[in-house]
Amino acid sequence: MTALTPGLSPESAKRAAGPGRGAVRRLAGALHRRPRLRLAALLTAPLLWLVLAYLGSLAALFLSAFWSTDTFTSEVVRIWTSQNFEELVSSPVYRTVALRTIGVALAVTALCAVIAFPLAFYTARVAHPRRRPLFVAALLMPLWAGYLVKVYAWRLILSEGGPLDWALRPFGLNGPGYGLTATVLVLTYLWLPYMALPIHTALAQLPDNLLNASADLGARTWRTFVSVVLPLVWPAVAAGSVFTFSLSLGDYITVQIVGGKTQLIGNLVYSNVTLNLPLAAALGTVPVAVIVVYLLAVRRSGALRSL
């Protein structure tokens, strides 16, 4: 109902509302009667941004990978050639770096899942309800600091004679130093919250009667975990793995800081951007292709259907 101004009749109030208000009402009514039009209006802007900014940049990256570089001036020569991809396939160095990068991403994902599961189980099922928000905040605390701050802090921890060496020295051990192990360790620390939070949410929504029924039927703890808990929480693990795998696959800053002489695809892309841009573009298509295959495999397994 239209609010009446003192001293004005209903007809005068409608005229005072102006034509703009009536047009808004007609537009709202048209959108209400046409749900597909309403959905199209809501999705047009984000879809345009996705197509132009993201897919457009990927298309430009893929096209530039078929160009070449003048060996004397390092200028890009826009002549169609598949030489860069042939070099990626034929060169054992690039194959080794690609396999090492995929292995690091898989190792980080597996470690994040192994570490995040007991942490999330404690915060979601064991901890007192009043303390659960504090534990969740503790799980997310690594995200509060800057990326470089965390990586350089780990560089100090892993340095020779650093805190880790000092803590392991009484046991006759030394820290891993800088290298591949340090890279996996630091990446696991960086991306652990992205795995812990989905698992915590899934475990918090797990019905108690299922666990009680499993115990009443005589199932032990491991049997309950494998047959009841894991199938219900697996979609959350798969969702978290998409983040940890993709973020580890494209990371290059951590490798430069704590990786020592270790080389991953991101480092090769970074080092070739100014020297050989088409080759860097060809190298950049490798992580994109790997993550697409990974997403298709996760989707085909059915792990994401119940998310």
Per-residue pLDDT of the chain (307 residues; tens, 9 = 90+): 444 445 545 555 445 445 556 676 766 666 667 777 767 777 777 778 777 777 777 788 888 888 888 777 777 788 888 888 888 888 899 999 999 999 999 999 999 999 999 999 899 888 888 888 888 888 888 888 888 999 999 999 998 888 888 888 888 888 888 999 999 999 999 999 999 999 999 898 888 788 778 877 787 878 888 788 888 888 889 989 999 999 999 888 999 999 988 889 988 888 887 778 888 888 889 998 999 899 888 887 666 665 5
Cβ-proximal residues to 240 (8 Å cutoff; 6+ apart), any chain: 112, 113, 116, 194, 195, 196, 197, 198, 199
Q: Give, for 77, the enclosing helix (H) or strand (E).
A: strand 76-77
Rounded distance, CA 126 to CA 211, Å?
Answer: 13
pLDDT score for 241: 92
Contact 193, 142 (CB under 8 A): yes
Q: Which residues pair with 68 in a beta bridge?
A: 77
Sorted by sequence, the CB contacts under 8 Å of residue 286 that are 6+ apart come out as: 88, 98, 101, 265
DSSP state of 76: E
- Give the predicted TM-score (pTM) of the model: 0.80
* Token code pair at residue 279: 């080759």
- Residue 229's Cα: distance from chain center in Å? 24
- 159, HSE (Cβ side, Cα atoms, 13 Å): 11
What's the rounded Cα separation, in Å, for the pair 192 and 113? Answer: 8
Q: Could you give the C-alpha distances from 130 to 92, 121, 141, 292, in angstroms and in order?
A: 56, 16, 18, 41
pLDDT of res. 32: 67
pLDDT at 219: 78
Q: What residues are paired with 76 via a beta bridge? A: 69
| CA–CA gap between residue 106 and residue 291 (Å, rounded) | 11
Burial 87-100, CB ≥16 within 10 A → b, else e: ebeeeeebeebbeb
Q: Name the token pair of 242.
A: 């998409």
* End-to-end C-alpha distance for the chain, whole angstroms: 42
Q: How far apart are CA 222 and CA 271, in angstroms?
A: 48
Q: How far is it, in rounded angstroms, from Cα 265 to Cα 101?
A: 6
Residue 103: per-residue pLDDT: 95
Do the beta carbons of residue 264 and residue 255 sit within 8 Å? yes
Distance, CA of 176 to CA of 160 (rounded, Å): 9
pLDDT at 4: 46
167 contact partners, CB below 8 Å, separation of at least 6: none
DSSP string for residues in 262-307: ---HHHHHHHHTTT-HHHHHHHHHHHHHHHHHHHHHHHHTTTTTT-
Half-sphere exposure of 275 (CA within 13 A, CB side): 5
| Pairwise CA distance, residues 245 & 243, whole Å | 6
